[in-house]
Structure 1
Amino acid sequence: MDHLPLVLLHAFPLDPRMWDGVREVLHPITPELRGRGREADLGVLADDVLGELDARGLERVVLGGCSMGGYVAMALLRRDPSRVAGLVLADTRFTADGEEARANRLTMARRVEEEGVEWVPDTVLGGLVGAAPADGVVERVRELILAREPAEVAWAQRAMAARPDSRDVLAGVDMPALVLVGAQDTLTPPTAARELADVLPASTYVELADAGHLTPVEVPQAFARAVDDWRRRVGV
């Protein structure tokens, strides 16, 4: 069966290399999400993704995202849902930040601008990976975080802090959707993932064992298999 192109959007504070473990099976297009110097609005990144689809001559795709990438996917659905034939949302949520979460993001943005990103891995790794990550996972995530420019990290935090609730957007989509979550995800736990799946009109829910918030990095084979099986089943 021929599938539509699959576009996967990376998590914060990583880059498209987070998808390297699923490339052999899924063959995704993985745009770089960069917003520095522009308005702190995830819609800016959604417009960039739409521009890349135009440049590649792609009318419709299966769109996916992990964590922040899921937020960008929701922003793209606000822009032009006609470009999306299927949706893959991993370790993300549809709700806007509460006051405490928003304040924490803005605090991190300021500190990164002042001190750089060297302190970030030790602060966030505990929430990003599961309790017993596979060999090399922690080192790989640390490497990806340290490669990010401070200005990009700060921009992304401010943009995520400003994102709106996406319930109405997702409730109105007319496409199959796959919701994945790590069983050990403490940032967007399975309870939040099930709520997300319930909002979507035609969703499949998959919980991946032995993984936290970065399922494509922690359990890439299980992640790729779940996406591939879903695509075959729903025909996208």
Structure 2
Amino acid sequence: MLLVPGFMLDADLWRDVVPALGDYGPATYADLSQDSSIAAMARRALLDAPARFVLIGFSMGGYVAREIVRQAPDRVTALVLIATSARGDSDVERQRKAVVAGQAAGTAFKGLSRSAILSSLYPDSAERSDLVDRIQAAGQRLGGDAFRRQSLVERRDERDELAAIGCPSLIVAGDEDRLRSRAEALELHQGLAGSSFEVVAGTGHMVPMEAPQRLATILREWLDRQNAEA
């Protein structure tokens, strides 16, 4: 498996999911902290990836995962996209990028704000300090340079290109995701021919942290079906 995290996250995102997926081979984790474009992130991830692999992308990592498929279609046996989108940057997102671009390169990074983190969680998870602390810790590990690079990454609209992806695909959405809408998840499902679609109840955007066991069950059952049909 090759697992691709989201914005200002690292391999810890998958900490509670991977142990239940041991039957599908060892996990390799993409590092999105070093590069300034989706294409470069995908190239770096492929350098350390197995010859053939199941590809799982979360949020921004979904954009990277689709680029990995475009760069190495023969190496990806199955694609899972979690809490992500195929839309390009919105006007609001472009405005945020302009603010970051206008900041001095040496501006001190204080980590992701608590309000930003809470917006990514299911409302009932607002008091889960364990989740908030894990997300904050990942941002602090990656640091200000990675924050600036990732904040400025361009996400282009890929909705018209989804049909070119031919591998088996699964789309997973959080029931109460306030960062990526159900409509965006359905666009992926409808654009990827023959894809499966699952909604994880009681979760916001951070599905792998908020409901790791339920997510692992969905992944196992879907991967088992792909193996049975192969």
TM-score by length of 1: 0.87
Q: Which amino acid aligns with 1:10?
A: P
What residue in structure 2 maps to residue 149 of structure 1? 143
Distance 1:225 1:100 in 2: 35
* 1:84-103 mapped onto 2 (5 Å cutoff): 84-103=76-95
Q: Is 1:12 matched up with 2:11? A: no
What residue in structure 2 maps to residue 31 of structure 1? 30
Displacement of 1:7 in angstroms is 1.0
- Alpha carbons 1:74, 1:166 under 8 Å: kept: no
Displacement of 1:170 in angstroms is 2.0
| Percent of aligned pairs with the same amino acid | 27
1:155–1:66 distance in 2 versus 1, CA, 3 Å: same
Q: Which amino acid aligns with 2:46?
A: L
* 1:77-226 mapped onto 2 (5 Å cutoff): 77-108=69-100, 110-111=102-103, 113-118=105-110, 120-133=112-125, 134=128, 136-159=130-153, 162-226=154-218
Structure 2 unaligned blocks of 5 or more: none
TM-score by length of 2: 0.89
Displacement of 1:59 in angstroms is 2.4
Displacement of 1:127 in angstroms is 2.0
Displacement of 1:147 in angstroms is 2.0
1:112–1:12 distance in 2 versus 1, CA, 3 Å: farther
SS at match of 1:65: strand
Distance 2:78 2:224 in 1: 12
SS at match of 1:138: helix
- Alpha carbons 1:87, 1:176 under 8 Å: kept: yes
- Alpha carbons 2:111, 2:136 under 8 Å: kept: no
Name whichever of 209-218 and 108-117 sits farther off. Answer: 108-117
SS at match of 1:225: helix
1:56-105: CA deviation from partner (whole Å, max 9, x where unpaired) = xx322111110011111112122222221110000000111122212213
Q: Is 1:42 matched up with 2:41? A: no
Distance 2:129 2:112 in 1: 21
Displacement of 1:172 in angstroms is 1.2
SS at match of 1:62: strand
1:190-218: CA deviation from partner (whole Å, max 9, x where unpaired) = 22111111110021111011111110011
Structure 1 segments of 4+ aligned residues over 6 angstroms from their partners: none
What residue in structure 2 maps to residue 3 of structure 1? none
